[in-house]
């Protein structure tokens, strides 16, 4: 990375009003990144409050059925049920360093919103969450959790009423309230230094996973993670980028390859500038953002983090997709065979492995189980025509 870019991707394509805030954020991050006092405080909260380290679990029953060795990085066991808490605690502590008492955040599946509201409750910070109306309707439980935690939830009823519109609303709020507000962005995207900051706080996933396999004296053949904005994937990939382990990012294949039926940035996107950063974006011929779809509220985003775009171009990470149906199949397989109910986002990563099990025959595969699935039961029920079983 150099001057806010990963190769040609990244940058700060934002209103001039935000440049002082981004510069302040970059200065703060460079000050705390290797600061022992800050990192000691962060480690304290991640361990005693969030529940780190999370285990790496050998999924014996699935491994036996599919003739491979499947391991799961259990981020679903963290407080609030997903990897998002790693980043929200880190950025909330940064906000306190900068003297910012008001936090805003976007959310799609609701997990980042819940994790942000949780961190704000912990550190006595004012909190407002922006969430698209479509996502709020299919993630009603998470909306209630955010409100219980003291956050004001702003429902965005413009555009596609999903994650991209929540991000846009956050950026507008930040422009208007930049002096006293920190935008706690939830994924490894947006203008520099957000991709660097989020990637840093999520890299704990990869470090722990690497330590586990080094103790076994055998690294996995492949590491697989779902990719929406890209935070859980970049977090676990960072532990293995310097190895020969195959890294696979799984996008939302949706229903088909038709326009508006998927969210495959690398499969159907083009280079472009979107919400403050240069990356791969699903767009129309005239540059307008195309509609996207995924059964998962956390994966239906038309852009992707700039570091992922760089890793795609360099070939270090392979990016593929998983259809809605295959993700739901994996959701039930893990539930029935291991007694673990996964988030639909994580189910895409597992669904890819199960769909392509011949490729992984007799190999060791690590899947990042980025979240738990209780938030998705209403979506699964609707998908099945009214039943969960």
Active site residues: 84, 106, 370
Quote the CA–CA distance of 47 and 29 in Å, as a whole number: 21
Nearest to 368, CA basis, from 52, 66, 50, 74? 74
Q: 190, 14 in Cβ contact below 8 A?
A: no
Residue 183 phi, psi dihedral angles, 5° rounding:
-90, 110
Owner of token pair 């930049």: 178
Quote the CA–CA distance of 339 and 156 in Å, as a whole number: 36
Strands across the sheet with 126-132, in order? 152-156, 126-132, 102-107, 181-183
Quote the CA–CA distance of 289 and 114 in Å, as a whole number: 28
Q: How far apart are the first and last CA of the chain?
A: 47
Quote the CA–CA distance of 384 and 374 in Å, as a whole number: 16
H/E stretch holding 102 reads strand 102-107
Q: How many CA atoms lie within 13 A of 177 on its CB side?
A: 16
CA 44 from chain centre, in angstroms, equals 23
Quote the CA–CA distance of 228 and 176 in Å, as a whole number: 28
Could you tell me if residue 154 is left (phi over 0), alpha (psi between -120 and 50 degrees) or otherwise beta?
Answer: beta
CA 345 from chain centre, in angstroms, equals 9
Distances (CA, A) of 288 to 167, 180, 191, 272, 302: 16, 33, 19, 10, 11
Query: 3-state SS of 206-232?
Result: HHHHHHHHHHCCCCCCEEEEECCCCHH
């Amino acid at each position: 990375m150099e001057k806010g870019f990963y190769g040609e991707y990244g940058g700060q394509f934002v209103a001039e009003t935000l440049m002082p805030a981004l510069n302040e954020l970059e200065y703060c991050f460079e000050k705390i990144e290797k600061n022992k006092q800050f990192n000691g405080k962060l480690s304290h909260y991640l361990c005693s409050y969030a529940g780190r380290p999370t285990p790496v679990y050998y999924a014996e029953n699935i491994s036996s059925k599919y003739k491979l060795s499947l391991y799961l990085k259990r981020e679903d066991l963290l407080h609030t049920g997903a990897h998002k808490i790693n980043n929200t605690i880190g950025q909330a502590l940064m906000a306190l360093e900068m003297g910012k008492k008001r936090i805003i955040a976007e959310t799609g599946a609701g997990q980042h919103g819940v994790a942000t509201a949780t961190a704000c409750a912990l550190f006595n910070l004012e909190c407002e969450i922006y969430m698209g109306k479509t996502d709020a309707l299919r993630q009603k439980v998470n909306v209630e959790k955010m409100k219980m935690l003291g956050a004001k939830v702003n429902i965005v009823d413009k555009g596609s009423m999903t994650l991209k519109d929540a991000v846009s609303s956050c950026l507008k709020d930040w422009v208007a309230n930049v002096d006293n507000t920190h935008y706690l962005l939830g994924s490894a995207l947006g203008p520099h230094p957000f991709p660097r900051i989020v990637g840093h706080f999520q890299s704990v996933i990869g470090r722990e996973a690497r330590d586990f396999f080094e103790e076994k004296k055998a690294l996995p053949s492949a590491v697989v993670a779902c990719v929406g904005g890209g935070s859980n994937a970049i977090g676990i990939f960072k532990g293995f980028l310097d190895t020969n382990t195959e890294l696979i990012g799984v996008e939302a294949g949706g229903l088909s390859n038709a326009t508006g039926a998927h969210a495959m940035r690398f499969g159907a996107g083009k280079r472009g500038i979107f919400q403050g950063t240069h990356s791969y974006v699903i767009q129309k011929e005239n540059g307008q953002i195309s509609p996207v779809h995924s059964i998962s509220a956390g994966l239906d985003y038309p852009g992707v983090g700039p570091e992922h775009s760089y890793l795609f171009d360099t070939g270090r990470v392979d990016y593929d997709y998983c259809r809605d149906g295959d993700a739901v199949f994996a959701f039930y397989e893990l539930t029935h065979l291991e007694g673990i109910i996964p988030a639909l986002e994580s189910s895409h990563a597992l669904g890819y492995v199960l769909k392509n099990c011949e490729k992984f025959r007799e190999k060791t595969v690590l899947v990042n189980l980025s979240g738990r699935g209780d938030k998705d039961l209403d979506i699964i029920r609707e998908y099945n025509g009214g039943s969960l079983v």
